[in-house]
Amino acid sequence: MNIEEIALKIELLQRQNLSKSAEITNYTQSALTSKVKKMEAEIGQAVFKRTPHGLKITDVGIQYRNFLQLITQEYEEFLQAIGSQQMTTKVNCGASHTTIKIYGATIVNTLHTNNIPLDVDFTVESSNSLNEKVHNAELNCALTSKPIKIYPDVHYDFITTETFEVISHNRHIINFQERPTLTLLVLSKGCMYTRAVVEWLKNHDIPYHMKEIKSVSSILDFLQMDNSIAVLNSKLIDLYHYSEIHYYKLPQLENVINTVFIYRKNESNDPTIIQLKQVIESILERAKEGL
């Protein structure tokens, strides 16, 4: 039984918004569109109506969603009955604002659907703050951009490479050589993406003021202001399929950031840490394969 696939179908039928589901599940919107088509082919009827206001679940879709939820419930009751439900271990894991938006829900969903007995509580802060908290044993681990300070008692295992983009609305293209006063829109003032762009602006004597906005969709809305730019992870931009973006290739700005899994060296053999890291690696492997 592919309980993870069932959970994904329930998510799609429940939310009725492929863009939002893409953000939560770490699938692309086109991949989820294919999932919906496959689902409708399997049952032979439409599960959504396409309306001017978006998707609306059909009566058949409601019945199918209820059926899938019943299967999930009965499966969990079956596992409890045979005693396969293990005691869960709580893990306090840090994540940056960008990392939690890209991977947080997928990590939790993978743990749940694969019956992995880990209960992850996320702390969302800047990478440097999370780094310090792992060092001070306030957190078990963290998944974030590689921080500036490296502690000798902490492991920084490379997980993946992330890229970020400097963007604006394509109706408000910035001429940086004119040095206009910019509004820099960011998810977090403390993230490594923000630091890199701020350093570039300072090096080129470009005045700016920063606005921290916690929603990607709101950042895209704010880009309609004159002289505004944003810095966002490339994957987050792709999830929203926003069509009116202008991308900048700024000279001497390196837009690649390493993402690392941080934990204390004295916990290198902790099965909880090892298991969570393996889950994260499996998610990234699936993403590479386009699943």
Give pLDDT tens digits for 79-126: 677 665 456 788 999 999 889 888 998 999 888 888 888 889 999 998
Q: Which amino acid is at 212?
A: E
**DSSP 3-state of 133:** helix
% of the chain at pLDDT higher than 90: 57
Average per-residue pLDDT for the chain:
89
Per-residue pLDDT at 81 = 72
Per-residue pLDDT at 141 = 96
Residues in a beta bridge with 230:
167, 185
Higher per-residue confidence, 21 vs 199? 199
Across residues 249-278, what is the average pLDDT?
A: 92
Per-residue pLDDT at 290 = 59
The pairs formed by 274-282 with CB atoms below 8 angstroms and a separation of 24 or more are 275/116, 275/118, 276/91, 276/93, 276/107, 276/118, 276/120, 276/141, 277/141, 277/157, 279/107, 279/110, 279/111, 279/114, 279/116, 279/118, 280/103, 280/107, 280/143, 280/159, 281/159, 282/110
Per-residue pLDDT at 86 = 56
Across residues 259-269, what is the average pLDDT?
A: 92
Per-residue pLDDT at 227 = 95
Residue ranges of domains in the chain, CATH in brackets: 3-81 (1.10.10.10), 89-161+257-288 (3.40.190.10), 163-256 (3.40.190.10)
Residue keyed to tokens 């809305």:
221
Q: Which two tokens stand for residue 206?
A: 């470009």
Q: How far apart are CA 24 and CA 130, in angstroms?
A: 23
Per-residue pLDDT at 291 = 46
Q: What are the pLDDT digits (tens) for 170-203?
A: 999 999 999 999 999 999 888 889 999 999 999 9
Q: How far apart are CA 236 and CA 238, in angstroms?
A: 5
Per-residue pLDDT at 87 = 64
Higher per-residue confidence, 154 vs 1? 154
